[in-house]
Amino acid sequence: MKMFTITTVLLTISCLVNTQSRQEGIYMVSNSVDQFATKLLDTTRRNLDESFNIALSPYTIWTLMAIVAEGADGNTLKQLQNTLTLPESMADFRYNYKQLALNLLNNQNGVQLDITNAIFVTNQYPLNDTFKQITRDSYNVDINSVDFSDSDRTLNIINRYIADATQQRITRLVNPDDIEQAEVFMTSVLFFKGKWRFPFNKTATKTEKFYADDGTTPIGTVEMMYHSAPFPYSALTELKSFVAELPYGDGDKYGMFVIVPSKNEKLNNVLDKLSKMDFGVIIDRLAQAAKEYEDEEIDIYLPKFTVISEYTLNVVLNQMGITDVFNANKAQIKGITPHSDLYLSRMLQKATIEVDEEGTVASSAAGGSFAYKTMKPKLMANKPFAFFIVDKLTRSIIFEGKISNPKGICATCTGL
Ligand SMILES: *[C@@H]1O[C@H](CO)[C@@H](O)[C@H](O)[C@H]1NC(C)=O
Ligand SMILES: *[C@@H]1O[C@H](CO)[C@@H](O)[C@H](O)[C@H]1NC(C)=O
């Protein structure tokens, strides 16, 4: 009886330890995703005119690049590990990533989150077996065979696949020239649908002015939603901003964090500073606020909005330190397919988000198109060959011959 109790206690303790270390592993990966996310947003906005709205799904882009890292080597791998903040050991990382992905998709009432990873590859040029197994087991990649030489059909297959995974929100990620030279196409697709925990009252939505960074110069109007509810809220002095969380579903898992700069602070400065800090600080701050001011209502004014964006991310990722994988002369990603040397010719992303009184629908697809490095043509006369000396103007062969035996053709050559 006593033995039994002790064993139970020990089991309970080891269970707790396991849960705790699994949680730490997940946080290690999510921390990497968040660092990448804030840098990606900051770098993207730097490449666009200030007047552009932006929608991005860092998780899918990050995941896709992590899958590429599984087939990468040398400097290409180093750059991916640096920019994605991956650890030295991909084996540990894989385990933690899988735990994160499983937990992320653990859906709640009122929220649907689907993430689909897929690779499209031509039948007669299959993936490396190790790569295939790793991507299936750890990244839940769905491997599909297509025929890239039949590009119209392949284009339709890939686009239809993504349209289905986003409930028809993204119907055309890929255009013909995106896969013109493609040998492998990878995609990571996300679909999110969440009902607000505290829905906005439609009758409270009014047309209101929207201002420039200074908060006083009107630059247009929006359909402003309004609601008063116990939204977690905090000042972020280090960012000269305020943040509120609009929870989805039951409220304890998914939420939209809305960060608004204080008076006289520009959003660009906030995004710059945010890209250099730990996003976990903001998550903790709001969790703390939710506990401390549980029943305190705040007024939220948020415009209804829809953003549809489409980017080729090569330049942005270059600026973030991932360069070699995009360079046909430098890419080292030999681990993806055994028969050819690939590089990442194009990294695409399309995203849409619709926010209204009831909630949010967001979807995105990241796509990587991998092409053969254009091989320098090679002629190696290391077996029997013929030669002709030609006068090109008169088109006359003036001399000819063949070499089929190395013996005696030069002082040191020998026949075996
Ligand atoms: C929405 O607002 C209107 C007007 O203020 C009010 O009459 C109505 O009860 C509200 N509806 C809900 C669901 O709160
Ligand atoms: C497949 O990839 C693994 C790991 O990168 C490598 O060791 C192996 O040689 C590759 N197989 C082929 C057939 O290229």
Count the domains in the chain: 2
Q: Encode pLDDT of 48-60 as tens digits.
A: 888 888 888 899 9
CA distance to 16, 225, 245, 282, 283, per residue, from 279 (Å): 26, 27, 14, 5, 7
pLDDT of residue 390: 59
pLDDT class for 125, splitting at 50, 70, 90? confident
Ligand nearest to the CA of 126: 2
Do 234 and 173 fall into the same domain? no
What torsion do the CA atoms of 92, 96, 98, 104 make, to the nearest 10 degrees?
-170
Strands 141-146 and 111-122: parallel
Do 391 and 346 fall into the same domain? no
Question: What is the Cα–Cα distance from 173 to 91, expressed in whole angstroms?
Answer: 31
Report angle CA 111, 112, 118 to the nearest 5 degrees.
155
Boundaries of domain holding 320: 3-195+306-354
Cα–chain-centroid distance for residue 182? 19
Given a cut of 50, whether residue 4 has pLDDT beyond it is no
* Average pLDDT value over all residues in the chain: 86
pLDDT of residue 336: 93
pLDDT of residue 109: 85
Domain-terminating residue out of 333, 354, 375: 354
Do 313 and 250 fall into the same domain? no
Question: What is the Cα–Cα distance from 59 to 94, expressed in whole angstroms?
Answer: 15
Q: Whose C-alpha lies nearest to ligand 1, atom 1?
A: 201
Ligand 1 atom, smallest distance to 202 CA: 1
Question: Of the candidates 35, 76, 41, which has an alpha carbon nearest to the alpha carbon of residue 57?
Answer: 41
Do 376 and 323 fall into the same domain? no
Range list of H helices, 47-150: 58-69, 74-84, 90-104, 129-139
Do 173 and 267 fall into the same domain? no
Ligand 1 atom, smallest distance to 199 CA: 13
Q: Whose C-alpha lies nearest to ligand 2, atom 6?
A: 335
Do 125 and 246 fall into the same domain? no
Do 27 and 42 fall into the same domain? yes
Do 227 and 261 fall into the same domain? yes
Higher pLDDT, 384 or 239: 239
**Pair of tokens at residue 146:** 């297509």
Ligand nearest to the CA of 340: 2
Q: Encode pLDDT of 299-352 as tens digits.
A: 999 999 888 889 999 999 999 999 999 998 899 999 999 877 899 999 999 999
pTM of the model: 0.83
Do 328 and 179 fall into the same domain? yes
Cβ(201) – ligand 1 distance below 6 Å = yes
Task: Supply the CATH number for residue 69's domain.
Answer: 3.30.497.10
**Pair of tokens at residue 275:** 């890209």
Mean pLDDT value across residues 183-199? 93
Do 261 and 287 fall into the same domain? yes
Cβ(74) – ligand 2 distance below 6 Å = no
Task: Supply the CATH number for residue 404's domain.
Answer: 2.30.39.10
Do 274 and 349 fall into the same domain? no
Do 68 and 8 fall into the same domain? yes
Given a cut of 60, whether residue 155 has pLDDT beyond it is yes
